[in-house]
Structure 1
Amino acid sequence: MSIDTLSVKLANLMNEETILLDSISSEEEKLQKALRDNLWEDMEVIINTLSPLSAKMEKVEDARNSTYLKLKSKLNKNDDDGFYAVAMHMKGQNREDCLGGYRKMKIALLRMQGITAGIDQYVRTVGETSKAVLEEVFPHRKGRIYSSRGCEKPVQSDPMILNRHL
C-alpha cells in the first residue's frame, strides 16, 4: 500500500474509533445514571450493550494500530517517533484528515475516561460508606480475627439480607 492509501485508511479508522468512543461514552453516562438511581435491571441491559461495543472497539483499535505501524514503516520513522512526527511527512489533505481525526479521537477518549473515572469514584465511595456503616452497626465484625495459631479466621455470624434500595 502507498503512503497516501495508508493515510486515508488511518484517518477513516480514527474516525470510526471516535464514533465508537462516543457510543461507549453515551452508554457509560446511562450506566452512571442507573447506578446513581439504583436501577439494577437497567444496568444489566446497559452492560450487555457495552460488551459488543467493546469487542468492536478492540478490532478497530487493532486495525488502526496495524495501519499506523505500516505507515510509520513506509515513512522510515523510528519507534520513538510520535504521531505528529509521522503526520508531518504526509501530504496535504491526508495530513489534515489524520491530524483532525487524531484530535477528535483524543477528545472522545478523554471524555470516556472522565465518565469511567466518575463511575469508579462513585462505586468506591458507596462501597467504603457501606462498609463503614456495617462496621459501626456490627462492631464485632470490624477488623480481622485470628485463631489461637495466629491464622486469620472468618467471623461467625448470621447471614444478613440487604435491601437493594439501601
Structure 2
Amino acid sequence: MVAKAAALQKLIQSAVLKREWTDFETLLNRLNEVSAEMAVLEKDREALFAGFLPVPVELAGGDKGRFYTLCMRFTPEQRREIGEIYRSLKLEAIRVRLANEALLEYITEVRATMAGFFELAFPDRSGKIYTPRGTPVSHDMRSMVLNRRM
C-alpha cells in the first residue's frame, strides 16, 4: 500500500513539475483513495496489537515497543523476517513523507512567487488569487499523504 502511494505521489510530482494538468485531479482522487485504505489498515493494525498485547502503548515504549514486544511471540526466523518487513516499510514511509514535503515546499515557493508577481502587477486585487470560477483560492497547504504517522 505504501509503495502504491509512493508511485502515485511520483506521478503527481511529475505532473506538477511538467505542468501536466489533464489527469491531475484523477491522480489526487486515487491518492485520496489509497490514503483512506491506509487509514483502515492502520485501524486494523491497532486492533491487532490491542488483541495480542493488552499493554498500554505508553508502557510498551510506544508503537515501536509494542511491535517488538509482539514479535517476541514468534520464532527467531519469523522475528527476523517480520523485523525486515517492518524496517523496509518504515523506510519507504519516510521516503514518501520526504518526497511529499519537498513537493509541498516547491508548490509553496511557486505559489509565493506567483502571489508576489500578481501583487506587483495587480495591486488592486489585494493579493487574492481566484479560481477560474471566480472564487478565492484557499491558502490551506495541507500535506497530501502520510502526514500523521506510520
Same fold (TM over 0.5): yes
2-structure distance, mates of 1:95, 1:160 = 53
* Cα separation, 2, equivalents of 1:50 and 1:160: 22
Distance in 2 (alpha carbons) for counterparts of 1:41 and 1:160: 16
Q: Which 5+ residue runs of structure 1 have no aligned equivalent?
A: 1-19, 144-154, 162-166
User: Per the alignment, in what secondary structure is the counterpart of residue 19 of structure 2?
Assistant: coil
Q: How does 1:17-32 map to 2 (within 5 A)?
A: 20-32=1-13
Root mean square deviation of aligned Cα: 2.6
Partner Cα separation in structure 2 for residue 160 and residue 53 of structure 1: 27
SS of 1:40's equivalent in the other structure is coil
Please list, as runs of the form range in 1=range in 2, the aligned pairs for 1:32-43 lying within 5 A after superposition.
32-43=13-24
1:126-162 CA-to-partner distances (Å, cap 9, x unmatched) read 110011001111234457xxxxxxxxxxx9xxx997x
Alignment check: 8 A CA contact 2:8 2:27 kept: yes
Change over 3 Å in CA distance of 1:44–1:87 after alignment to 2: same
- Kindly tell me: are residues 100 and 137 of structure 1, through their superposed partners in 2, closer, same or farther at Cα, counting changes over 3 Å? same
- Give the share of equivalent positions with the same residue, in percent: 23
SS of the equivalent of 2:22 reads helix
Which residue of 69, 76, 79 corresponds with 2:58? Answer: 79
Q: CA deviation at 1:84?
A: 3.0
TM-fit CA distance, 1:86: 4.2
Residue 117 (structure 2) aligns with: 133
Shift of 1:70: 2.0
Match of 1:57 in 2: 38
Check whether the contact 2:2–2:93 (CA below 8 A) recurs between aligned residues: yes
Looking at secondary structure, tell me which structure has more helix per residue. Answer: 1
Letter in 1 for 2:59: D
Contact between 2:49 and 2:70, CA under 8 Å: does it hold in 1? no
Match status 1:99 vs 2:78: no
* 2:28 alignment counterpart: 47
* 1:88 Cα deviation from its structure 2 partner: 4.0
DSSP-derived class of the 1:41 partner: coil
Runs of 4+ in 1 over 6 A off after TM superposition: none
Specify the code of the residue in structure 1 equivalent to 2:10. E
* Residues 43/120 of structure 1: CA separation in 2 closer, same or farther (3 Å cut): same
Q: Is the 8 A contact 1:27 1:50 kept in 2?
A: yes
Separation in 1, partners of 2:49, 2:94: 21
Q: Which runs of 5+ in 2 are unaligned?
A: 133-150
> CA 1:91 to 1:50, structure 2 compared with 1: closer, same or farther past 3 Å?
same
Paired residues, what number?
A: 126
